[in-house]
Structure 1
Amino acid sequence: MRETLPILRLLSLALLAGVSLLSSVALAQEEDGLDIGEAPVIIPADPADAGTLQPSPSNPAGATPEVDGDALELDRRVRDSQPPVMKGGKISPDGEADQGINIYLRMGTPLPELPPERPFADEPDDAYGAFQRGLFLTAVDKAMPRAQLGDPAAQTLLAEIMSRGLGVKRDPKGAAFWYGQAAQGGDPAGMFKYALILMEGQVVERDKKKADDYMRRAAEAGNASAQFNWAQILVSENPGVRGLTMAMPFYEKAAEQGIADAQYALAQVYSALKDVPKEKKDRAREWMHRAARAGFDTAQLDMGLWLVNGYNGPRDYELGFRWLSIAAKRGNVVAQNRLAHLYINALGTSPNPVEAAKWYVLSRRAGLKDVGLEDFYLGLTEEQQKQAIDQANRFRRG
């Protein structure tokens, strides 16, 4: 599941304000070849949770919590649907079995031995297993008794189903209750989700102190999204180098778990801080590349700029052009502006004045002014300007 945190948009801006200032100075330095300049500061996409719900092992049975309102009342609007037919480990679009494994058998070659299964000491979680298979009402039936007995993993699962309206009527208040119970029980996913609810202050009364405490505890317990958001909080509340230094370990942990926002932030932090060990600084471009490959358009923009300008590694005009093209086609205004410069100066691509003018028109319409590109556009023929405008009008974000 992916989780956005609207209240931390300002924290993203605080981070970028700190790291972009330092990184843009380096981008503006003259090096061999043409430098297309620093990228204006822009706000990335909202922080996103690339992880999935991971219940912790069951708690010993405890006292049944006091429940007020709809936390125990579920409006079942649909019955469990049957899971898709799976044969050979794959599902075809039309539901038929994938024939790939049969082709392998027809070759007359015996199937390789399956690798030995890892020993599993804990008892299987039937409720979460049903949830993973899309049997949401079955998951509710199995999770509810455990949740009532104080199992934080079951409480988090029940809250997740209620918050998203999976097979039951969506119930934000009931979900908040169960997330709160799970947070008190120490479930990392429950603490993270309840911290968000406390920060937003829409379903329950806003409580920043308690929210920060749960976010920190969830981060320390290994929740990747909490690690990223706790790093953002540290940066926001401790401006400058101190905050970035405090946040770096949490960015690192979240980045290792695949959070693209954290990978982008870590690349900027490694690049910006002077006291970062060389072995970490050498990985700045690697982290930026991973964030770009994950689809983070701000990382795609910066990856392109770093490659074109030879920042944190060698120059590569063609690869830089490709990354800027990807970001531009996804609607990143700064990338559209920079792509126009590449077409004009034939960096990583053949010169194309009409294509350059198209990207300038698109970025100018979005409000990004550029005197140099304006002069270039006015120097084109009337026919070239018309073609550029027509292509801009037909542009659709990728």
Structure 2
Amino acid sequence: MRSISSHHRLILAALTGACLALASPVLGQESEDGLEIGDAPAILPADPDNAGEIERGARPSSSTGDANTLDRGDRDSLPPVTKGAKPTADDKPDDLQGINIYLRMGAPLPEVPPEKPYNGKPDEAYGAFQRGLFLTAVDKALPRAQLGDPAAQTLLAEIMSRGLGVKRDLKGAAFWYGQAAQGGDPSAMFKYALLLMEGREVPQDRAKADEFMRRAADAGNASAQFNWAQILVSGTPGVRGLTAAMPYYEKAAEQGIADAQYALAQVYSALKDVPPEKKARAREWMLRAARAGFDTAQLDMGLWLVNGYNGPRDYEAGYRWLSIAAARGNVVAQNRIAHLYINALGTGPNPVEAAKWYVLSRRAGLTDPALEDFYLGLNEDQQKQAIDLANRFRRI
């Protein structure tokens, strides 16, 4: 029989320190590629037409002068922590660097918002689907689908298209999507519109696809709202198309579609007849798209902040967003952040880091005569360091 001779207590403390290096901007100068640093905008916004693929999960990089260095100066200056000690009433918030776990222990959580009452009949098919009981969901949905229930038809199509518990059957899924779309299910109308555009599982019919996409958008499907806005813009280029698409961009953006949030920010910024209260929210929508992981929004957010476009200028915040986009492989961001390192905008001057980002962007095919001249002006050791860092670079 085992006994415990003593008790040990584990004291957890989280202390963080950060140093922000604020570099004063240099005098205005103009490079060969038209980039101007100083009072005039330092970096030109990227062309929205060159948007890259959407990826998620970007994590913010360091906001200090060197993105690869952790400044521990503030942490080292703190008094030692005595084992078993807890905060006293005399402790001030400024004395606690970071978040002290004792301030969180025992704190009551906010009340859970009340659930909306549901008086309808539970959907057994969807309930089984949510629990992963796909065969049960098929058994429950199939009789209802055969009787013309659009929701059951959509569920059956989704299961068949993804091969969940049954053999994948794209033709069968297309049939049930079509039946549900005719019954008015918003999700099915959107999916069936895509099938009609592709013309693989069903005959291609662009006019019919546009009709179902519009109906799905008007019924509140967020993805359909964004796609219908894109259709309007492509069908009627210019101010008229953007004006007609703007309400659908707004609805999709409110529902969290990052592509729509980015597009709405650009529309608010570009159109002259947009009400001032909407134009003032352009940067807000760009920020929301950037936080959602849209790398092109992260690039443009950084450029807007550096240039003071659609809001106050903030070199440090602009540097952070460009760092995120550059670390995720955005070539334009890699080029622009090299200029920030050279001119010490939002970060300390670092010729090796600037050269590293130039090498990466140059390898991707983006030429920049000004950065080329800068790179050739470095000594051999600095060039070798930059190439070594570029060779070890991995996208996050």
- Determine if the TM-score, normalized by the shorter chain, exceeds 0.5: yes
Contact 2:45 2:300 in 1 (8 A): no
Partner of 2:147: 149
1:368 aligns with 2:375: no
Report deviation, 1:136: 1.7
1:308 aligns with 2:306: yes
Contact 1:260 1:294 in 2 (8 A): yes
Q: Which amino acid aligns with 1:321?
A: Y
Q: Which amino acid aligns with 1:296?
A: F
SS at match of 1:267: helix
Partner of 1:231: 229
1:196 aligns with 2:194: yes
Structure number with greater CO (CA < 8 Å, separation at least 6) is: 2
Structure 1: how far apart are the matches of 2:161 and 2:37?
52
Partner of 2:63: none
Structure 1: how far apart are the matches of 2:54 and 2:224?
10
Q: CA RMSD, aligned part only?
A: 2.3
SS at match of 1:354: helix
Contact 2:340 2:347 in 1 (8 A): yes
- The 4+ residue runs of structure 1 with deviation greater than 6 A are 27-31, 109-114
Report deviation, 1:246: 0.3
Query: Which one has a bigger Cα radius of gyration?
Result: 2
Report deviation, 1:119: 1.9
1:37 aligns with 2:35: no
> Quick one: structure 1 residues 34 and 225, their matched pair in 2 at CA, closer, same or farther if it must change by over 3 Å?
closer
> Quick one: structure 1 residues 157 and 383, their matched pair in 2 at CA, closer, same or farther if it must change by over 3 Å?
same
Q: TM-score, normalised by structure 1?
A: 0.75
Report deviation, 1:42: 4.8
Q: Which amino acid aligns with 2:201?
A: V
Partner of 2:209: 211
Partner of 1:160: 158
Report deviation, 1:140: 1.3
Report deviation, 1:110: 9.9
Structure 1: how far apart are the matches of 2:146 and 2:324?
49
Q: Over residues 231-268 of structure 1, what are the superposed CA-to-partner deviations in whole Å (9 max), with x where a residue is unaligned?
A: 00000000100000000000000000000000000000
Percent of residue pairs bearing the same amino acid type: 80
Partner of 1:280: 278
Give the total of aligned pairs.
314
> Quick one: structure 1 residues 183 and 29, their matched pair in 2 at CA, closer, same or farther if it must change by over 3 Å?
farther
Listed as ranges, the gaps of 5+ residues in structure 2 are 1-33, 56-104
Report deviation, 1:203: 1.1
Report deviation, 1:173: 0.6
Partner of 1:319: 317
Q: Over residues 374-395 of structure 1, what are the superposed CA-to-partner deviations in whole Å (9 max), with x where a residue is unaligned?
A: 1111111111111111111111
Report deviation, 1:32: 2.3
SS at match of 1:202: coil
Q: Over residues 20-66 of structure 1, what are the superposed CA-to-partner deviations in whole Å (9 max), with x where a residue is unaligned?
A: xxxxxxx9899726612343555324689xxxxxxxxxxxxxxxxxx
> Quick one: structure 1 residues 44 and 123, their matched pair in 2 at CA, closer, same or farther if it must change by over 3 Å?
farther
Partner of 2:340: 342
Q: Which amino acid aligns with 1:236?
A: S
Structure 1: how far apart are the matches of 2:296 and 2:109?
45
Contact 1:179 1:190 in 2 (8 A): yes
Structure 2: how far apart are the matches of 1:158 and 1:298?
36
Mapping for residues 45-64 of structure 1, pairs under 5 Å: 45=52
Listed as ranges, the gaps of 5+ residues in structure 1 are 1-26, 49-105
